[in-house]
Each structure stands twice: as structure tokens, then as C-alpha cells.
Amino acid sequence: MRVLDAIDDEYGGVIVDPQRLPVNPSSFAMVLHSSLSHWKMQGKKGVWLKLPVERSELVPIAVKEGFQYHHAERGYVMLTYWIPEGPCMLPSNASHHVGVGGFVINDKNEVLVVQEKHYAPALVGLWKIPTGFILEAEEISTGVVREIKEETGIDTEFVEVIAFRHAHNVAFEKSDLFFVCMLRPLSTQIAVDDIEIQAAKWMPLDEFVEQPLIQGDCMFKKIIDICIARLGKRYCGLSAQQLVSKFDGKLSSLYYNVTEAQDLNCQGL
């Protein structure tokens, strides 16, 4: 009995080697079928089958055998098969997008704001803080600095996370985490990204706050109220600290509020 090259995972399943798949689709179909029989007899649980884009002709064969789509990236599609009876216990695909918004205020009490080229009809005329999505393997603190630079040309320094919003069924029916961050400006000259941004400017804080669309939306207004409270040292955000956990040995960013009296986390910008 021929069996696909695979390694055991730590949960009693197998991960098929995508570089050692049969070249011929007919051969793949036969070997895949016999592999599933073999893994069933061995008491295996989940099967992970990663098919590179150049082997996309194998996808219908795997689906016909009972595999289900798990997720896809630019270069591959991942399919899974649950062998035991009962509900599938394999982890689901990533469930969230992560977005950031940057509240940048200068020493003239002006806020860095933008108007986007593409917006919902309800947001016509709104000047808003720069926003964007975090890239894969990118920190919140570095991602928001990058987004502000890309959209406005302004260099900034991350201070802290002020608040975050959790929403569901947003883009592609995924949930969304949106982190509002406070940053210090390191430059003043605006250079607009004319692909996404219609205009950008430094706007007096009072004028920014009094926009009807800000005052009329409880979410917008609450976020701005929190940012203003932070400026007045009446509120403390979450600073980023780099730590290594013994559980995985990896460097991670922990965002938390420091309460030690000697720490300057909550002393204003």
C-alpha cells in the first residue's frame, strides 16, 4: 500500500509533505485514498494537506475524497480531513483582522487627520485619524507607525494603546480588533499618499472634536473623549513591553498598564 509522505503532528494527526506529492493526478487520487485507509487503521485523527498553487489540479480530487477547505494564502490552499467519528476537533482558520488607528497630536494642540478617497456615504466630509491594517508578523506598535507614515508622510513614535474595539461579521465575515493608539509626532511636513488618501492636515483639537460626525456617533465620540482624557493625565493607556515566555521561547509584546509610582507611563506626552 502506497502512502503519502507525512509527519505526525503533536495532536495525533498527520501533516502531508507538499513537496513530495505524486506528479500524476491519477496517482495522487489512488495514493490519497490508500493513505486515508492506512491512517484510519493507525488511529490517526486530523490530516493536513497543503497544496501549492502550482498543484491546484489536485484540489478537486482531495475535495471528492472528503477534504474540506481550511484556509488559503497567495501560494497555497490548506485542506483538512477529520478521521474519527464525531465533530471535527481541528482548530478553525484565523477568525480576526487587526486594525490600528493613530491619534497624533503636536505641541500646537493639533491632531493629524485625513480624508480617505474611498468611504461610506455616511462619512462624507469627515476628517478622521489615520487607520489601517496590521501586516502579518507585525507588532501593533510598529504597524500604526508604518500606517501613519504611508498615509501622511509623518514620522511618529508609539506611546501606548489607548483603547480597542471588538466587532464581528466585518470584512469577509471575520471579526475585527481595532486598536486606537497614541503617538508623538517626530516631523511636521505632510506628504499625502494619493492612492488611498484624499487629503491630510493638522487640525485644531477643538475643531476636530466638534465635527458633527464625531459628536453624533457614540463610538467616535467615546474614543476621542478617552484620547483627550489621556492628554489631561486622567486616563492611562497600555504600554508595550518586550518579554520572552518559557512556554514558547519567543519574544512577544505584552501591552499593560504600569502601576509602579516611579514609572512614567501615565505622566502625559
> Is it the case that residue 156 has pLDDT exceeding 80?
yes
Say yes or no to pLDDT of 53 above 60.
yes
The pLDDT confidence band at residue 267, using thresholds 50, 70 and 90, is low
| pLDDT at 264 (0 to 100) | 52
Share of the chain above pLDDT 70, in %: 96
Handedness of CA 227, 230, 236, 241 (dihedral sign): positive
Q: Mean pLDDT across the chain, nearest whole number?
A: 92
pLDDT digits (tens, 9 = 90+) for 211-248: 998 999 999 899 999 999 999 888 989 988 889 988 88
Please give the Cα distance from 128 to 146 (Å, whole number): 17
Q: Please give the share of the chain, as a percent, with pLDDT higher than 90.
A: 77
- pLDDT computed for residue 1 by the predictor: 72
pLDDT tens track for 167-217: 999 888 899 999 999 999 999 999 998 888 999 999 999 999 999 989 999
pLDDT surpassing 80 at residue 263: no
Domains contained in the chain, CATH given: 6-82 (3.40.630.30), 96-231 (3.90.79.10)
For residue 46, which of 15, 2, 4 has the smallest C-alpha distance? 15
pLDDT at residue 268 tops 60? no
